[in-house]
Structure 1
Amino acid sequence: MEKQLPYSMAVLGLLLALGMSGAAFILGVQAKKAVSAQQSVSVKGLAEKAVQADNAEWTATVSITAPDFAQALAKLRQERPGLDAFLVEHGLDKTSWQESGEQVTPHMVDVPLPNGGTRSEQQGFDASQSLVVVTKELAKVTTANKDILSVQATGKPFTATAPSYLVSNLEEIKMSLIGAATENARNRAKEFVKHDGVKVGVMRSASQGAFYILPPGGTSDGDDYGGTYDKTTINKTAKVVVTIVYNIEQ
């Protein structure tokens, strides 16, 4: 028994040494994989291009006030043909109009009280009707919007909102810009790591940030995830921001 003891101890020691070596190797490989998995770079990619509105929406309204309901409605119907004629004269065909219903509502005013303050009091009725012009003839809408001021100066009860100049293929524009912004992001990532002896690997994650439609020369200083849509100009700039995380390979 005394001769077998040293031999048994030697075998046990060898097995322990092998076990520890194997465990160290496994842990080393796992640690290397963990470090490799943590190596990444996050970049923002930008892309923009000039776009042009191809649709316009413009609302013109007849609004009058009269002492009673019947007079208000009659006066509205008397003035409405003048607005129709104005639009036709500017080449805006009736097929482009969307007509709202006639509206007659109490005309309320704030009347001062002797001891201060005010009270709301009805003084006649307001009548109105709107025509929304939807057209691809942007120049005609622009001209009509300018000329309606001259008509108002003659005493006609016409008002108009500023035209909205819209881009119909926004999704197509967005998709093309996302591709360009993704390429821009990879180029930025390469620039970041080119001095470190590593290379940019596969994309780990990606998210689209803001999609901007800006006036010419406009800035996108707002929240990256908010975006803006300028409707006041015909010529615009479309811009997309993406955030992409790439693996870094040794």
Structure 2
Amino acid sequence: MTKQSITMSLIFAAAIILASVILKQGIVEFKTLDRSVSVKGLAEKEVMANTVIWPINYSLAGNDLTALIGELETKNQAVRAFLALHGFADDEVSVAPPNVADKLAQPYAQLEKGQMRYFVMSSITVYSHEPEKVRHALTKVTQLAKQGIAISSDRYDAKVQYIFTGLNDIKPEMIQQATEKAREVAQKFASDSNSTLGKIKSARQGQFTIADRDSNSPHIKRVRVVSSLEYYLVD
């Protein structure tokens, strides 16, 4: 081989070695950049309901529809007086038209002995931003029973609904708490793996949920949110 050929071979070999080193370094740097940890952060907060819907339903049965409607109107006045006594304003109470069922309205229908022909239901709804007034009135509802007004409570549409409408006011604080807790978990993982926690690679805010704290305290709500974050890890 000539001196020139040897020189060219050495240059070519050096170039291959250098390229290999550069490629290897690039792969190492790429893998390092791709190293990450995914974590979740939970934030919970107990809040009091600030809105309440109280359906007050009762029914009457009889064979004289005119008399039934008259009795219904009298009892409705008694219910409204009861509500006024416990601090509910007129604009917090609404009375729906009576629901009347006639058992003889269907073709070939017949009444069995002792059955009443008409069944009339009254529906009065309380909508208030003061749930405590409803909770207090519920403890005194036996006063209506003493006047012959049996309030239905076992029907699904007769359940008292306690609602929390202030979610937007607490969202920023809860998102911050969830993010901080997620970072604490990621920091612990990085420390245990002898790494340094880097920047956020991706983040996703979960859906806020509002539920009763327990079955005995529907007026107390538990708000939850879970944030999912992914952090880079740096050696």
Count how many residue pairs are aligned between Structure 1 and Structure 2: 223
State the match for 2:184 in structure 1.
187
SS state of the match for residue 88, structure 1?
helix
Name which of 120, 131, 151 aligns with 2:124.
131
List alignment gaps of at least 5 residues for structure 1.
109-119, 219-229
Amino acid corresponding to residue 62 of structure 2 in structure 1 = A
Match for 1:142 among 117, 135, 141? 135
1:241 aligns with 2:210: no
Q: Secondary structure at the match of 1:58?
A: strand
Q: Please name the residue that 1:32 is paired with.
A: 28
Q: Percent of aligned positions with the same letter in both sequences?
A: 26
Secondary structure of the structure 1 residue equivalent to 2:141: helix
Contact kept, 8 Å, 1:165 with 1:232, in 2: the verdict is no
TM-score (norm 1): 0.74
For the residue of structure 1 that corresponds to 2:118, the secondary structure is: strand
**Matched-pair contact (CA < 8 Å) for 1:62–1:76:** no
- Change beyond 3 A, Cα 1:71–1:30: farther
Higher relative contact order (CA 8 A, sep 6+): 2
Match of 1:103 in 2: 99
Q: AA paired with 2:193? A: D
Cα separation, partners in 2 of 1:99 and 1:91, compared to 1, 3 Å = same
CA displacement at 1:202 relative to structure 2:
1.0
The match for 1:10 is 6
Which of the numbers 93, 101, 117 marks the counterpart of 2:89? 93
Q: CA deviation at 1:237?
A: 3.9
TM-score (norm 2): 0.78
- Is residue 62–residue 83 contact of structure 1 (8 Å, CA) maintained in 2? no
1:165 counterpart letter in structure 2: Y
* 1:149–1:210 CA distance, 2 compared to 1 (3 A): farther
Per the alignment, in what secondary structure is the counterpart of residue 165 of structure 2?
coil
Q: Give the 3-state SS of the residue equivalent to 2:233 in structure 1.
A: strand
Q: Report the alpha carbon displacement of residue 180 of structure 1 after superposing the two structures with TM.
A: 1.0
Residue number in structure 1 paired with 2:152: 159
Equivalents in 2 of 1:215, 1:151: separation in Å?
28
RMSD after superposition: 3.1
Shift of 1:106: 4.1
Q: Provide, for residues 188-235 of structure 1, a one-character-per-residue CA deviation record: whole Å limited to 9, x for no partner.
A: 21122214332111111222335344555x5xxxxxxxxxxx894334
Q: Residue 171 of structure 2 is aligned with which of 171, 174, 194?
A: 174
Q: Which has the higher strand share?
A: 1
SS, match of residue 76 in structure 2: helix
CA distance in 2: counterparts of 1:203 and 1:101, whole angstroms: 59
Residue ranges of structure 2 left out of the alignment (5+ in a row): none
Per-residue deviation, 1:245: 1.1
Contact 1:210 1:241 in 2 (8 A): yes
Give how far 1:22 is off: 4.0
